[in-house]
Copies of this chain bind each other. A is one copy, B any other.
Amino acid sequence: MRDLTRRLDLCSINTATLGHQAPIGPMIDAIARAGFGALAPWRRDLEGEEAAAVGRRIRDAGLAVSGYCRSTYLPAATRPERQAAIEDNKRAIDQAAAIGAPCFVFVVGGAPAGSRDLPGARRQVADGVAALLEHGRAAGVRLALEPLHPMYAADRACLNTLAQALDMAEAIEGPSAADPWIGVAADIYHIWWDPALCTQIARAGAAGRLLAYHVCDWLSPTRDMLLDRGMMGDGVVDLKAIRAMVESAGYSGAVEVEIFSAENWWRRPMAEVLAVCAERLQAVC
| B111:A236 contact, CB within 8 angstroms | yes
8 Å CB contact of A160 from B118, B193, B220: B193
8 Å CB interface, A44-67 against B: none
| A117:B222 contact, CB within 8 angstroms | no
| A155:B238 contact, CB within 8 angstroms | no
Q: A153 contacts the other chain (Cβ, under 8 Å)?
A: yes
| A116:B151 contact, CB within 8 angstroms | no
| A193:B150 contact, CB within 8 angstroms | yes
Q: How many residues of A contact B (CB 8 A)?
A: 33
| B225:A222 contact, CB within 8 angstroms | yes
Q: A195 contacts the other chain (Cβ, under 8 Å)?
A: yes
Which residues does chain B contribute within 8 Å of A196, judged by CB atoms? Answer: 163
Docked complex Cα distance between A153 and B195 (Å): 10
Q: A122 contacts the other chain (Cβ, under 8 Å)?
A: yes
Docked complex Cα distance between A44 and B110 (Å): 37
Interface of A is mostly: loop
8 Å CB contact of A118 from B155, B158, B221, B238: B238
Q: A218 contacts the other chain (Cβ, under 8 Å)?
A: yes
| A163:B238 contact, CB within 8 angstroms | no
Q: A237 contacts the other chain (Cβ, under 8 Å)?
A: yes
8 Å CB interface, A101-133 against B: 110-111, 115-118, 122
Report A's interface with B, CB cutoff 8 A.
110-111, 115-118, 122, 149-151, 153-155, 158, 160-161, 163-164, 167, 192-196, 218, 220-222, 225, 235-238
Apart from A150-B151, A158-B193: 15 A-B pairs, beta carbons within 8 A: A115-B236, A116-B236, A116-B237, A117-B238, A118-B192, A118-B236, A118-B238, A149-B150, A149-B151, A154-B193, A155-B220, A155-B221, A163-B195, A164-B195, A167-B195
